Each structure stands twice: as structure tokens, then as C-alpha cells.
Structure 1
Amino acid sequence: MRKIDRYMLSQLLVLFGFFSLVLVAVFWINQAVVLFDRLIGDGQSALVFLEFTALGLPKLVTTILPISAFAAAVYVTNRMNNESELTVMQATGSGPYRLARPVLVFGMIVFLMASMLHHILLPLALQQLNERETEISQNATSRLLTEGTFLHPSQAVTFYAREITEDGVLRDVFLSDRRKPEEGVIYNAAEAYLLRNQNITTLIMLDGMAQRLSTETNRLSTAKFRDFSFDISALVRNDASQVQRAQNITTWRLMTPWDPLAKEARQRIGDIAEEFHTRFAEPLFCVVAAMIGFTTLLVGGYSRFGVWREVVVAFGLLLMIDGLGSTFQNPVRGDARLWPLLYLPTVIGALLSVGMLWYVARPRRRRRRAQPTREAPA
């Protein structure tokens, strides 16, 4: 690789790292606020918040990689154009295809990064995140121990504790169970404790009263008790979280027959096909994003008024192609045989890039067409 290629590639990689860092920080702050409020509000520690944040970073990085590659290509091309570096390179005999070579190498590097994330890091992170969410959802302490607040750990169930001591004693407990349509039960207790034995969680209430209302007979019956145990395992169990979704399965395993995987994940075969081919299509789109940013500005050339119009056009093309990818996801989920549609945005972007390079490589033909035809002398 020539020095000019290494120079241009180094500029692209530096700007790519800068834009990636900025975009990750912006998106992370937006997600961290919601995640912090949810976890800390449920009684989790700051370490759990940091763990969930770290496990969510691979998904966030895969989202911003095409944007960072596009932004780096646009910025470097614009700077080299304004400083006449591209003009000098073209004057020394470097054509558009030659100039696009370091951008293509840059896109392939980003492709390798995205492929590693999609095929290895992202499934492992999502699998670990799903396991941790399952543990927290089944932890009755994290779901119930929030004093002074009416909580709804499950549909038609309301829980309230006025105070929680340092020893874990719940004082002035209120529990409303309306899961059965034929009756509703309200429990009041002066004190309560939570006991957990493997997958069974029991609420022990002391010195309280149970009020049972039958909706069929419209009769209310009450009973006082000194101690009463209530199994709340069903309130905090989340069976859906135990299912391993296609997003959490490694790419190597997705290469096995999809019928057993669809039954295990409780998803359609189209969902498995869409997830599998998306892991290849999205990294390829990073190459297209970089090439579109470069070729669009190369077509515009140098202008004293700036290249804002070319930047807007390039960004519009990127959004249009990316929107096509989102549009084709639903048909593939409905019919797994339509999986080639997921690669169509990448093919369209590649054809647009090659077409713009072909257009720039023929300036003389464009000039001849632009010049008016002269009449032959009489």
C-alpha cells in the first residue's frame, strides 16, 4: 500500500474512532438514564447498573458503526477536497477508482469489527443479559422491597409496605390478590418477612387479617390470623424470560436446522432466518455506508460554497437504503425463503457507489455533452 493510501486510511480510522466515541457517549447517556431509573427504582445496586450497561454496549456499538463509518468518510473527503489534496492526487494520475481504494479498505476493516460484534460478542452479551434479567425478575426482594410505594409485581396484584427495617422486616403490609375473577382477597399484616428457598418465595405475615370477597354471592368474609404464609413465587416468575430467543443464539448454532431452533425459541422460522442473515447483511452495510459518503462528495467536486448539498444527498441516500433494509425484515419473518431481500440494500448501495465512480471517471464525456455544438463554416 502506498504512503498516500496509508495516510488516507489513518485519517479515516482516527475520525472513525472519534465519531464512534461521541455517538456511543450520546446514545449511552440516553439509555443509561432510563436504565438507571428502572434498576435503582427496583432496589438494585450501582454495580448491577454498571453490569447491565456493559452488557448493552455491544448492541449500541453495532447500531452506530455504519453512521460512524459514513461520517468519517464524509469528513475526510471534504477536508482533503478543501485542502486540494484530492486535486493534487488526481493531477498526478490517480483516478476515482484509485482514490476509492483506501476507503474500501477502511470499509472492510469496519466490516470485520461489525462481524465480530454480530457473530460473537453481541449474542453472548444478550444471553448474559437475559440471564441476569431473569434472576432479577425472579428475585422477590428486588420486586417488593420498596417502602412507601404501591407496587404491581404482577397483573391484578398490588403490594404495599409502609416501612422496611434494616433487618428486613416489613411493617404495615398490604397485599391485594385479584387474579381469580370469582373472588378477590386483601391481606393486611402488622409485620411480614420474605423467605426464599431455591425457586420458592414465601411471604410470612404476622398479626393480620384476610378479607375475601366473593363476586358470585357478593359476600365478604374476614379472618384474623397470627401468622400466615403466602406463596408469591407465581407473582415474580417470568417464564417467557427463560426462553432462549434467536438473538441470544450464537451464529454457529444458527447454522443448524432451523425447525428445532424455532420450537425452542418459540419463534417462527422466518424470525430465525431474519436474525441469521441480518448478522451478515448489517456488517456489509458498513462498507456501503463508507463508500456512499466518499463517492457522493467526489461527484460534487470542489466548490467555494461548500459541500453541504452533497452531504445532504449522501445522508439521504444512506437513510433511504437503510430504510429499505428495515422494510424487508417483515416479509422475511413471514416467509424465510425471502432472505435474499435482506442483502438487497447492500447491493443497491454498492451499485450506486460504482455508478458514481464510473461517472466521475469520465469527465471529458461530460464536458463534450455540456458544450454546445458548433456550426460548420460555410
Structure 2
Amino acid sequence: MSKFDGYFLRQLLVLCGFFAFVLVGVFWISKAVSLFDKLISSGQTAMVALEFTALSLPSLIRTVMPMAVFAATVYVTNRLNRESELTVMLATGTSPMRLARPVLLFGMICAVMLGTITLYLRPASLQRLEARQAEVAGDMTAQLLNDGQFMHPVKGVTVYIGKIDRDGTLNDVYLSDRRRPEQVVTYTSSKAFLARSGEQMALVMVEGTALQMDAKTKLLSTTIFRDFSYDISALAKRDEMRPRDIRSIPTLELNRARLRGPGADTHGRGEIMEELQERLSWLAISVAVAMVGFSTLMLGTFSRFGLWPQLLGAFALLVAIEGLRGVASATVAEHPNLWWLQHAPALGGIALSLLFLRIAGRPVRLTRGSRAGMA
């Protein structure tokens, strides 16, 4: 590797890290604020909210990584062109194809990082996040310890708590159980407590009233009680039969499911093939966006006003590649045998970049040929 290649590669890596840090920070903060507010308001601690936002980082990094690669490539290339460094290299006989070598290496380095995130870290983080979400959803204590708002722990059950004392006493409790439409029961009490015994949990209401409505006879019966225990253990049970999110399935297990192994009974073949090929397609996308950004800017000549037309063209190509990837994903989900379509946008971008570099190198060869003819 020449000194210029090392200099070019270092600039690309530094700027990519900077842009990735900024983009991840912006998106992570905006997501973390809403997630913190949602979890804290539902009775969870700040550590749980922080854990949830940390587990979402691999997915966020994967999303912004291609944008950071593209931004770093066009920024460094435009700066080198504006400072005449690329012009000097071209004048010494270096072809645009040769100048693209550090860009290609940069894209491959980013592809390795993105592949590690996509194939291993992201499924593992989503699997952990899915498990933690199930635990939080089953934490009935956290769901009930919210005063001043109507809560719906499960479908058909509504709970309202007027005020919660520091010692855990619940005041002005309202509970409506409509899970059996033919018999709706509504409980109200001045005070209540949560009592747990092992896996059993009960809401103990004191000095209250139970109103029972019979849908068939249209009769309303009223019962005044001194204390009453309402079993809420069934509400706290997690739905263990819920199918796994396909995004959280490890890549190797997903590949076995593609061959009709474990998991093939819960997800269709098209869905499995689309997710698997979508993960693999991220390996080439970093190389594609880096090469597209560099090769498009190389089509322009030196100008003190910059390469704005080429910059807009590079951005348009990036949008086109992402649009084609979305269309390819939908097609593969319906037609699994066309799995290669998910790799076509990235490979097409690389091929188009090579074409642009070849076109950019022609004026140099023509100029040399004309000078040789004049001599």
C-alpha cells in the first residue's frame, strides 16, 4: 500500500467513525427519550430503560452504517479534489481505477464490521430484547403501580388507581373484568394491596363493592365486602406460545430453518429466505455505497465550485439502490427461488461504479494519446 493509499484510507475511516457516531447519537437519543418515558411511566426502573436502549444499538448501527460510509466517502473525495490532491495524482499517471483501491479496501473493512453486526450481534440483541420485553410484560406489579390513569394489563381487564402511598398502599381502586361478556364484574375499594406468594399474586381490596351484571337476565347484583382477594396471577402469565420474531433467530438456525429444520413450522419459506438473504446482502452494501460515492465524484473535473452535480448524482444513486433493495425484499418474500434479487442492487451498484471509473479514466488516456501524436 502506497503512502497516498494509507492517507486516503485513514481519512475515510476517521470520517466514517465520526459520521457513524453522530448519526447513532441523534437517532439513539430520539428513540431513547420516548422509550424512557414509556417504560418509566409503566413502572419500570431507569436501568431497565437503559438496558432496552442498549439492546437496540446493534439494529441502529446497522441502519446508519451505510449512510456513514457514503457520507465519509463523498466528503473525503470532494475535499481531496477541492485541494487538488486527486488532480495531482491523476496528472502523475494514476488512473481512477487505481485511486479506487483504498476506497474498495475501506468498503471491505466496513463490510466485515457490518457483517458481524448483522449476522451475529443484531439477532442476539433482538433475542435478548424479546425475552426482556416478555419479562416486563409479565411484571404485573410494575403494570399496576401507576396512579391516575386507566391501565389495561390484558384484554378485557381495566384497572384504575387514584393514588399510591409511599408504603405501597393503593387508594381508590377500580377494577373491571369483562373477559366473560355474559358476566361483567366491577370492583371498587377505598384501599388495596398487592400480595405475592411464590408465583401467585393477588390484589387484596379493603372496604369495597362488587357489581355483577348478568347479560342474560339483565340483573345487577351488588356485594359489599370488608376485604376481598382478586387473583391476578393469570394476568401476569406470559404468552409462551407466541411465535419468535424472525429477526431474533440466529443466522445459523435461520439457515437450518431454510432447509426445513427447526423454525420452518412457524415461518414460511419465503419469509425465512427473505430474512436470511437480507442479512447477507448487507455484506456488499458497504462496498457498493463507498464505490458509488467515489466513482460518481470522479466523473467531474477539478472546479473551485466543488462537485455539486456529481454529489447530487451520487445521492440519487444511493436512493435508487435502497429503493431497489426494498422491491427485491418484497419479491423474494413472495418468490423464494428469486433469492439472488436481494444481492442484485448492491452488485449492480458495484458494477456501475466500475463503469464510471472506466469512463473517468478515458480522458486521461485520450490526452496522453494526443500528446504522443503531437510529438
Cα offset for 1:134?
0.8
AA aligned to 2:281 is A
User: Is it true that 1:77 corresponds to 2:77 in the alignment?
Assistant: yes
Q: Provide the residue aligned with 2:347 in structure 1.
A: 347
Higher alpha-carbon deviation: 292-301 or 155-164: 155-164
Q: Provide the residue aligned with 1:261 in structure 2.
A: 262
Q: Provide the residue aligned with 2:303 in structure 1.
A: 303
Alignment TM-score, normalising by the size of structure 1:
0.92
Q: Structure 2 CA distance, aligned partners of 1:284 and 1:95?
A: 24
Q: Indicate the SS of the match to 1:201.
A: strand
Q: Structure 2 CA distance, aligned partners of 1:317 and 1:49?
A: 38
AA aligned to 1:261 is P
Q: In percent, how many aligned pairs have the same letter?
A: 46
Q: Provide the residue aligned with 2:176 in structure 1.
A: 176
User: Is it true that 1:123 corresponds to 2:123 in the alignment?
Assistant: yes
| 1:174/1:189 contact within 8 Å kept | yes
| 1:130/1:241 contact within 8 Å kept | no
Measured on the aligned residues, the alpha-carbon RMSD in Å equals 2.0
Q: Structure 2 CA distance, aligned partners of 1:63 and 1:151?
A: 34
Cα offset for 1:89?
0.6
**What do the CA deviations read for 1:174-229 (whole angstroms, capped 9, x no partner)?**
00112222232110122222234555432222222111112222211111223322
| 2:257/2:263 contact within 8 Å kept | no
Q: Structure 2 CA distance, aligned partners of 1:257 and 1:305?
A: 55
**What do the CA deviations read for 1:303-354 (whole angstroms, capped 9, x no partner)?**
2332122111111110111111112222222232221111111121112111
AA aligned to 1:267 is H
Q: Structure 2 CA distance, aligned partners of 1:237 and 1:312?
A: 54
Higher alpha-carbon deviation: 6-15 or 270-279: 270-279
| 2:184/2:212 contact within 8 Å kept | yes
Q: Structure 2 CA distance, aligned partners of 1:328 and 1:263?
A: 22
Cα offset for 1:364?
6.1
| 1:70/1:293 contact within 8 Å kept | yes
Q: Provide the residue aligned with 1:94 in structure 2.
A: 94
User: Is it true that 1:335 corresponds to 2:335 in the alignment?
Assistant: yes
The size of the alignment, in residue pairs, is 367
Alignment TM-score, normalising by the size of structure 2:
0.92
| 1:262/1:268 contact within 8 Å kept | no
Alpha-carbon spacing, 1:159–1:300, altered in 2? closer, same or farther (3 Å): same
Q: Provide the residue aligned with 2:244 in structure 1.
A: 244
Q: Provide the residue aligned with 2:215 in structure 1.
A: 215
Q: Provide the residue aligned with 1:376 in structure 2.
A: none
Please, which runs of 5 or more residues in structure 1 have no aligned partner? Answer: 368-378
| 2:281/2:342 contact within 8 Å kept | yes
Q: Structure 2 CA distance, aligned partners of 1:339 and 1:299?
A: 33
| 2:135/2:238 contact within 8 Å kept | no
- Alignment of structure 1 residues 128-143 onto 2, 5 Å: 128-143=128-143
Please, which runs of 5 or more residues in structure 2 have no aligned partner? Answer: 368-375
Q: Structure 2 CA distance, aligned partners of 1:346 and 1:41?
A: 43
Q: Indicate the SS of the match to 1:154.
A: coil
Higher alpha-carbon deviation: 329-338 or 67-76: 329-338
Q: Indicate the SS of the match to 1:228.
A: strand
Q: Indicate the SS of the match to 1:239.
A: coil
Q: Provide the residue aligned with 1:25 in structure 2.
A: 25
